[in-house]
A and B are shown apart, each in its own frame.
Chain A
Amino acid sequence: MRRITRRRALAEALRGSAALPLAAALPLSAGLAACDLTATSTPTSENDSKNQSHFGSTVRGTWGDPVGDGQLRPGPGEPLVHRTELGRRAALGHPLASLAHVTDAHVLDASSPARVTFLDRLGPPFQSTFRPQEALTAQVLAGTVAAIRALRPQAVIQGGDLIDNAQSNELAHALAILRGGRVQPGSGRDGYFGVQLASDSDPFYYRPDVDSPRHPGLLRRASRPFTSPGVTGRPVLPVLGDHDALVAGELVPSELTRSLAVGSRALWDLPAGLSLPPGARSDLLASPDGPPAPALVDELLTKALEGPTVGVPADPSRRQLQFAEVQSRLSALAPATVPRTAERLDYAIEVGPQVRVIVLDLVRRGGGSGGQVVGGQAAWLASELARSGRRWVVVVSHQPLDSSAGGEPLLALLDRAPRVVAVLSGHTHRNQIRARATSAGGYWLISTASLIDFPQQARAVRIVATTGGGVAIQTWMLDHVSGGDLGSIARQLSYLDAQGGRPRGFAGSPADRNAILYRRPSRS
C-alpha cells in the first residue's frame, strides 16, 4: 500500500482529486467523510474501484468466518471479479448511473399475533416463518440505509418485501427508516411480546436471554425507539414484493387474519397432531421468503387456530393492508413521476441522462409468493423499451422473471432489446449474477441477497461506459453498518441459523457479489 503522510493527504485533499487514495489509507470509520462515489465526481478506473473505501463496502472489508467455527469476524475486502461472458474486458470510462439495490428487508413486527412462527419447526418450506434475528429487522435496515448514505447513489431501488407480514405498523417503521424519522419497532404496550421471551418454554425458539449465544436484554433493546436519518435526498424507487401485501408473503388478508393481527390472542405452539401433508416439502433451493402454496398455509392456519392460544397485548396499529394502500404508501417514496394510483406498481424512470429503470410488479393479487406476469404487462414493457431509445435499460422486479409464471415472454422481449444491460431481482434472498447471452448483446440477471437472512447485504450498482461504446456494471455488496451492536448481533444470529442463509449458500460465490460485468457495444 502506498504510504500517505498527513501533509501529503492534506495537499491532495486541497487539490480536490485525492479522495479515494486518502480513503484507502483511512480506517473504516473515517471512510464516510472521505468517499464520494456519485457518478459525476468519482474516477472510475479499475484501480480506483479496487481501492474504494465505502462505509459498508465489501470491497474494503467484510465479515467472514475464516476458521469455519460459526463466528463472523471482520475480514479483508473482496476485489471485483472481471466477468467477460457478455463482452471483453475494456477500459472503464465515465460513469452513467449509480444505484443501490436493497431488497427483502422484511421489516417485521415480531410481537404480532398474526405471525405463524410455529410452522417453522415443520422445516422447508416454512423455514422463513421464524428466524432467531427477527426482532432486529428494523435495525438492520437502518444499518443498510447508513451504508447507502455513504455510497451516495443517484437512486435507491427498494426491491420489494420491504415488510414481512402486510401490516400497517411494519410499513410505517420501514418507511420511516428509509425516508428518515422516529421508529418505534414492534407493537403492543410492552415493546416485545413474542415467542422469543425467556418465559416461553418452547425450546424450538431461540430466546436471547437464555439460549446460546446469550444476549440478555436484547429484546428490550430491539424494541427501543430510534431515529433514522433516512437516505437523505436520494430518490427511492419502490418495487412491490409478495410480503408487502400478503400475509406471510402468501395469503390475501382475510377476516380471520385481520382479527388475529390486531387482537389479543396469538398462536405460538404447533397444535398436537398438526403436520405437513405428505409431499408438501419443497427442496431447499426454493424461495425462502414464503411457502409456495397459499392453500397449504390457509389449511394449517385454520387447524392451528383450533389449538391453544396465548394472550398478547392488542394493538390496532397491526392492521393488515390492502394492495392499494401498500402501493400508495410505497409510491410516496418515489419521485413524482411514479404513478400513485395505478392498479399495479409498474413504472419507468430515468436515472441520469443515459440510463432508464423499468420496474415490474409481478405480485399475485390472489395470493401466492411466486411471481406472475399479468395481461398487458408484456405490451407495456415493450412500449417502455421502445421509449428508452439510446439509453441503457435496467429492468427491476421483485420475483425473478425467469422463475415467474409468464416470465419467459418478457425475457424474450428483453432478449431482443439491444440496450438492456441488467435485470435486477430479489425474492430468492441469494446473491447471484448470471449472464444471459442474446443476439442483441445480452444482459446480466442480477439477484441480490435479503437483509433478513445471511449475508444481510444490499448491492451497489454502477453503470460505466467502456471504450468502444460498450458498457460495464461495477457491482459490489454493501454490509449494513450501525452505531450499536444490534446489527452485528443480527448478522451473527443470521449466520448461525441452521435454516438460514449460511447453510443455503445465499451469499453466493465471489463472482456473484463483487464484479465488473462487461457487455459489448450494442448492435443497434
Chain B
Amino acid sequence: MITARLGPALAEARRGLRLRRRRSLLTALGIALAAAMLSAALVIADGLGLGFDRAARAAGLPDVIVRFDPQSRSTVAQRISALPDLAGFATRSELTNVGIGFAGRRRHDAVAEVVGSGPRRGYAVVAGRDLRSRGSEVLVERAFAQAWGVELGRAFAVGGLGPQRVVGFVEAPDNVGYPLAKPRFYVSRAAIDARFGREADPQVNYAEIWLRNPRYLDQVLVQARASSFGLHDLRFATRSGVRVLLDQAAGIVIDLLVALSLIALATAGAMLAASARAEVQRRLAAIGVQRAVGAPAGHIALAQALEAALVAAPAAALGCAAGTIATYGPASRLLSLLNEPAPEAALVLPLLGGWLAAVLIPVAAAAWPAWRATRRPVVGLLRGADVAGSAGSAPGRLARAGAVIRHRRGGLAALGARLVSARRARLLATVITLGLSTAFVLLLLSLASALSSLETDPGALGKRYQLTASLSASQARHVARIPGVQAAAPRYEVQAVDSFSLGETIDVVAYPGDHTVFEAPPLTSGHRLRGSGQAEIGAGLAQALGLGPGQTVALALPSGRELRLRVAGVISSLDHDGRVAYVPASALLSADPGARSQIAVKLRPNADPAPVTAALAALGAEPAPTSGATARGAPLVAVLRTILRAVAIVDGLVCLYALIQACALTVQERRRTVAVLRACGAGPSAVRRLLLGAALTLVVPAALVGVLLERLVLGPALARLAASYATLPLTASATEVLATVAGLVLAAGLAVVWVARQAGRESVLAGLAA
C-alpha cells in the first residue's frame, strides 16, 4: 500500500526537482548552511560538554583524590584500606619544581608523578604504551608533548634522573594541561628506586580512591575525614570537585561555548523549519491545481515531503560535514588543553542525529503545511492564497507601472515592499530567519566582548585591587606607605570543602578589615559581612549547598579544623564558579593559623603601577598584576575566538542566503511585473530599487526582531545556561548593534545586486509571456 503510493509520489518529487533545479539548489544551500551550524553546535556541545566525562572514563579517573603532606605509604594504605565502598586505590608522590629538558629546551617547574605498579593509574595512555616496572622511561602529558614537540622514543631529560625514554603520551583529567598548568610527566617508582636505592616504605603525598558505588561518596568521605588525623594539609577532591577546579581555568569559556551551541541548535532548527514552510507557501497555487485535477491529499503531502527529503538529505550531509570540519579541529585543540580526548567515534551518533534532524525538520515543515493546504478550498489555493489583493489586468498594470517610474522615485522601492509583503507567510519566515541570524551574530559579538572583559578586567570579578605582592602579612603597612598606593592589606586564600558535603570545594578569601575595599562582588541578597562570625558566599556555593542569608556555612579547612559562620549575604561572583566565601581574617586564622597570604595592593585613581611595582620589588616581593576570571585560560579564549569566527561566518552566509532566496523568489514569482517595468523603460537601477525595497522590507523588521531577541531572550538565556551563579554582561552594545545592522544591510545590497543581475539576463518578452 505504502509502496504503491510511494512510487508515484517519488516520481512527482523527482519531476519537481528537475523543473525547479535552481530553486532546489538554493534551498539545498540553505539547508546545508543550517546543517553546518547544527553540526558545529553538536561538535562543540558534545565535544566540550561531555569532554570531562569522556576523559574521566578513559583515564579511569578516581572518585576521590586526596592530597596531603608526605606520609609513609603503609600508613596511607592502611587508612584507605579501612574505608567502606572501596573498589581500589593507588598512591603516588607528586613532585613539583622538577627540572626537565627536551631538544634544547629546559624548564625547572615541571611536575613529576611517581606512580606505583598497580593496575589503576588515573590516566589514559593516548599514544605509545604505559610504564613498565623496569627501565628509564617516562610518560608525558599530551598537551605538553604537543606544545614542545616531544616525540615517542626520544630522550627526555629529568633533573636528578638523567635522560629517560618517552614511551607514551597520557591524558589525566585531574588537572588542566600545559600551558594552563605546569608541564607534567609520569615516572615509575621503580625508576626512582633504581636511581636512588629502594625504600621499603616510601613517602607519598597523593592518593587516588575508586569506589564501588559513587553514590555513597559522602559516607566514604566522612569516614576518611574521621580517620585522617595526623595527615597534614589534607585536601579531598571528588570528581565534581576536579571538574570545578578545571572550570577555574576553562569553565566559563566552555560553558559559554556549550550554551552558545545549544542556542545555535535551536536557531538552526527554527531556520530550517521557516525556510521549508516558505517553500510550500510558494507552491500553494500548484497544490491547488493538483487538488483540482483530483490528486489525493496524502499523495500531495507525500510528494512534498519526498521532494524536501531529496533536497535535504545530500545538502544536510554536506552541511554536517562542513560544520564538523570547521569546528572539530579547534574543539579538539581546546580539549587537548584540558587533558580531555577529542570525541572521535563518539561524535558519529550525535552527528547522525543532527543530519537526521536537518532532513526531518524541512520534510516535516514541507509536508505538514502541504497537508493543511490540501484541506483548504481549491479556489482559494488557485487564486494564490496569501497574495494580497489582485494585480488587475495587464494594461492597467502597465499604466500604473509607467506612472510609478515617471513620477515617484520612491515608488519602485514601495512596489518592491508591496511585492514581498504580498506573501505574508514567506515574509514572516524570512524575517524570522534573518532575525534569528541577526540575534545570533549580536550574541557572538557580545560574547567576544564579555570574554575579553573576563580575561583582562579584574573588575569583572569585583576586584578593586590592581596588584598582589608575595610578602608577609606584617609588611602590609609598609606597602601602604608606597606612593601611589591607596590601600594594602593581607589577602588570605585557602581551598576548603563544605563540612557536610565534602565534595564541594570552596575558595575561602579573608581580609583583616573591610574586604569591600579590595573586593566587592555585587551583593544579590542579604548584607555585607559584619563581625567575625559571618561570611559572604558566592551564588554558586549558595546554589550548590542550598544556603541563604541567616544560615550556617561550615567550612572544613586544610588544617583539619572546621569553621562555621553565619551567611550574611550572597554575592554574584564568577570566580571559582561562584563557589567562594569571604570570611573575616580573624575567624580564618583562628581555625587555620597557617593560611597562606599575599598583600593585595589597591592603587590610587590614575596612579601609574610601574613605580609601585618597582617599590614592591625593592621590598623583596614578586608583584603581579591582578588577573581576570579567564586569565589562566588565555589559550582557551584564543581557540574560542577561532570557533566563534567559524560560527559567525556560517551565520553570515545564512543571512545572505535568506535574503537572496527571498529576493530571487520575489523576482521569480513577479516575472511579469518586472518584465512590464522593463518594457516601460526601467533599467537595471530601477530593478535594483524595486529589489532594494523588497530587501529592506525584510531587513528592517528582522533587525528589530534580532536586537530584541538578543537583548531579551538569547543573551539572558546564554548567561543563565553558562553561569547561573553570576551576572554575565551579554547584552550587545550600541556599536555592536549598529555594526550588525550595517552588515545586514550590506548583505541585502549584495543580494539585490546579484538577483538584479540574474533578472536582467531574462528577455522582457519571456517575462511578459510568463
Contacts of B81 in A (CB 8 A): 503
Chain B: which residue is nearest A202 at the CB level? B562
Q: How far is the CA of A502 from the CA of B500 in the complex (A)?
A: 24
Q: Which of A198-227 contact B (CB under 8 A)?
A: 201-206, 210-213
Asked if B219 contacts A70 (CB within 8 A), the reply is yes
A203 near B229: Cβ-Cβ < 8 Å: no
Return B428 CB to nearest CB of chain A, in Å: 56
Q: Does A498 lie within 8 Å of B226, measured CB to CB?
A: yes
Interface hits, B486-501 → A, CB 8 Å: 499-500
A211 touches B212 (CB 8 A): no
Say yes or no: B212 contacts A499, CB within 8 Å: no
Does the CB pair A204–B82 fall under 8 Å? no
Given A70-B84, A502-B84, A503-B82: A203 touches B216 (CB 8 Å cut-off): no
Chain B residues near A71 (CB-CB < 8 A) = 85, 213, 216
**A210-B500 in contact given A201-B554, A203-B560 (Cβ < 8 Å):** yes
Taking a contact as CB atoms closer than 8 A, the residue among A201, A498, A502, A504 that contacts B562 in the complex is: A201
CB <8 Å contact, B213 and A204:
no
| Interface 0/1 of A460-480, CB less than 8 Å to B | 000000000000000000000
User: Interface size on A (CB < 8 Å)?
Assistant: 29
| CB atoms of B224 and A498 under 8 A apart | yes
Residue of B nearest to A205 (CB): B226
**Separation of A497 and B226 alpha carbons in the complex (Å):** 9
* CB of A309, distance to nearest CB on chain B (Å): 18
Inter-chain contacts of B78 with A (CB < 8 A)? 284
- Which residues, 52 to 72 on A, are CB-close (under 8 Å) to B? 67-71
- Which residues of A lie under 8 Å from residue B561 when comparing CB positions? 201, 203
* Residue A379 lies at the interface, judged by CB distance under 8 Å to chain B: no
* Contact string against B for A residues 275-309, beta-carbon threshold 8 Å, 1 for contact and 0 otherwise: 00000000010000000000000000000000000
Q: Given the known A-B contacts A201-B554, A202-B562, are A212 and B218 also in contact in the complex, defined by CB atoms under 8 Å?
A: yes
* Contact partners of B500 in chain A: CB under 8 A: 210-212
Of chain A, the residue at the smallest CB distance from B80 is A498
A386 proximal to B (CB < 8 A): no
Bound complex: CA A515 to CA B618 (Å): 80
Chain B residues with Cβ below 8 Å from A67 are 212-213
**Cα(A27)–Cα(B342), bound, Å:** 55
Task: Encode contact with B along A118-140: 1 for CB under 8 Å, 0 otherwise.
Answer: 00011100000000100000000
Whether A204 and B229, one on each chain, are in contact in the complex, defined by CB atoms closer than 8 angstroms, is yes
**B190-221 CB contacts (< 8 Å) to partner A:** 211-213, 215-216, 218-221
CB distance from B228 to the nearest CB of A (A): 8
B562 close to A69 (CB less than 8 A): no
Alpha-carbon gap, A495 to B220, bound state (A): 12
A33–B564 alpha-carbon span in the complex (Å) = 52
Question: Chain A contact residues: over half helix, strand or loop, or mixed?
Answer: loop
Nearest B residue to A500 via CB reads B82
The 8 Å CB contact of A69, one of B85, B225, B230, B560, is B85
> In the complex the two chains form, is A123's CB within 8 Å of B84's CB?
no
Q: Report if A212-B219 is in contact (Cβ < 8 Å); known contacts: A123-B229, A201-B563, A204-B229.
A: yes
Contact A204 B564 (CB under 8 A): no
Are A499's CB and B227's CB within 8 A? yes
* Option from B79, B83, B229, B564 in Cβ contact (under 8 Å) with A122: B229
Nearest residue (CB) in B for A118 is B229
Query: Residue A107 at the B interface, CB < 8 A?
Result: no
B interface footprint on A184-209 (CB within 8 Å = 1, 0 otherwise)? 00000000000000000111111000
User: A123 touching B230 by the CB < 8 A rule?
Assistant: yes
Residues in B with CB closer than 8 Å to A206 are 222, 226
Summed over the interface, the residue pairs from A and B with CB atoms below 8 Å come to a total of: 88
A69 to B217 Cα, complex, angstroms = 10
A496 interfacial contact with B, CB 8 Å: yes
Minimum distance in angstroms from B464 CB to a CB of chain A: 32
Instruction: Name the contact of B225 in the complex, choosing from A201, A204, A495, A497 (C-beta under 8 A).
Output: A204
B214's nearest neighbour on chain A, judged by CB, is A69
Query: Please, which residues of chain A bring their CB within 8 A of the CB of B85?
Result: 68-71
Find out whether the CB atom of A212 lies under 8 angstroms from the CB atom of B84. no
Cβ contacts A439-482/B at 8 Å (1 or 0 each):
00000000000000000000000000000000000000000000
Q: What is the minimal beta-carbon distance from A1 to any residue of chain B, in angstroms? A: 32
Which one of B83, B211, B564 lies within 8 Å of A201 (CB-CB)? B564
Within B80-112, the residues touching A (CB, 8 Å) are 81-87
A203 B225 Cβ-Cβ under 8 A = yes
Partner of A498, one of B82, B213, B560, B563: B82
Within the assembled complex, what's the spacing in Å between the Cα atoms of A70 and B561? Answer: 26
Confirm or deny: B556 has a beta carbon within 8 angstroms of a beta carbon on chain A. yes
Docked complex Cα distance between A499 and B221 (Å): 14
Task: Please name all residues of chain B whose beta carbon is closer than 8 Å to the beta carbon of A69 when the two chains form the complex.
Answer: 84-85, 211-213, 215-216
Residues of A within 8 A of B564 (CB): 201
A205 neighbours in B (Cβ, 8 Å): 226
Determine the distance from Cα of A503 to Cα of B82 in the docked complex, in whole angstroms: 5
Instruction: Return chain B residues, CB-CB under 8 Å to A211.
Output: 222, 500
Chain B residues near A502 (CB-CB < 8 A): 82, 84
The residue among B215, B222, B561, B562 with the most chain A CB atoms within 10 A of its own CB is B222
Q: Does residue B727 face the partner (Cβ distance < 8 Å to A)?
A: no
Q: Report the minimal beta-carbon distance from A300 to chain B, rounded to whole angstroms.
A: 14
CA distance A499 to B83 in the complex (A): 9
- B223 x A497 contact (CB < 8 A): yes
**A499 touching B82, Cβ below 8 Å:** yes
Please report the C-alpha to C-alpha distance between residue A202 and residue B225 in the assembled complex, in whole angstroms: 11
A132 to B220, CA, bound (A): 13
How far apart are A453's CB and chain B's nearest CB, in angstroms? 13
Whole-angstrom distance between the Cβ of A71 and the nearest chain B Cβ: 7
Query: A211–B226 Cα gap in the complex (Å)?
Result: 11
B223, closest chain A residue (CB): A498
* In the bound complex, CA of A71 to CA of B213 (Å): 10
Measured CB to CB, the nearest residue on chain B to A275 is B230
Instruction: Indicate whether A203 sits within 8 Å of B82 (C-beta atoms), given known contacts A67-B212, A68-B212, A498-B227.
Output: no
B83 and A498 contacting across the interface, CB-CB below 8 Å: yes
Chain B nearest CB from A210 CB (Å) reads 5
Q: Determine the distance from Cα of A68 to Cα of B88 in the docked complex, in whole angstroms.
A: 11
CA distance in complex: A67, B213 (Å): 9
Name A71's closest neighbour in chain B (CB-CB): B216
Q: How far is the CA of A122 from the CA of B78 in the complex (A)?
A: 14
Instruction: Return the chain A residue nearest B229 by Cβ.
Output: A121
Q: Which residues of A contact B219 (CB under 8 A)?
A: 70, 212-213, 496
Q: Are A498 and B79 in contact (CB under 8 A)?
A: yes
Residues of A within 8 A of B223 (CB): 496-498
Which B residues lie within 8 Å of A122 (CB)? Answer: 229-230
Determine the distance from Cα of A270 to Cα of B561 in the docked complex, in whole angstroms.
12
- B547-606 interface (Cβ within 8 A of A): 554, 556, 560-564
Bound: A68/B554 CA distance, A? 31
Report the minimal beta-carbon distance from A462 to chain B, rounded to whole angstroms.
Answer: 34
CB neighbours (8 Å) of A202 from chain B are 562
Residues of A within 8 A of B226 (CB): 121, 132, 204-206, 498-499
A201 to B565, CA, bound (A): 11
B570 CB to nearest chain A CB (Å): 21
Q: Please, how many angstroms separate the alpha-carbon atoms of A400 and B216 in the complex?
A: 37
* Cα distance, A499 to B225, chains bound together (Å): 12
A459 to B563, CA, bound (A): 45
Interface residues of A in 313-355 (CB under 8 A from B): none
Q: Which of A492-513 contact B (CB under 8 A)?
A: 495-499, 502-504
Query: Within the assembled complex, what's the spacing in Å between the Cα atoms of A270 and B230?
Result: 12
Return chain A residues, CB-CB under 8 Å to B229: 121-123, 204, 270
A-B contact pairs, 26 of them (CB 8 A): A67-B213, A68-B86, A69-B85, A69-B211, A69-B213, A69-B216, A71-B213, A121-B229, A121-B230, A122-B229, A122-B230, A123-B230, A132-B226, A201-B554, A201-B561, A203-B225, A203-B499, A203-B560, A203-B562, A206-B222, A210-B500, A213-B218, A498-B223, A502-B82, A502-B84, A503-B82
Known: A70-B212, A213-B218, A496-B223. 12 other contacts (CB 8 A): A69-B213, A69-B215, A70-B84, A71-B213, A121-B226, A122-B229, A122-B230, A204-B226, A206-B222, A211-B222, A496-B219, A504-B82
5 shortest interchain CB distances as A-B pairs: A70-B84, A212-B218, A121-B229, A503-B82, A69-B213
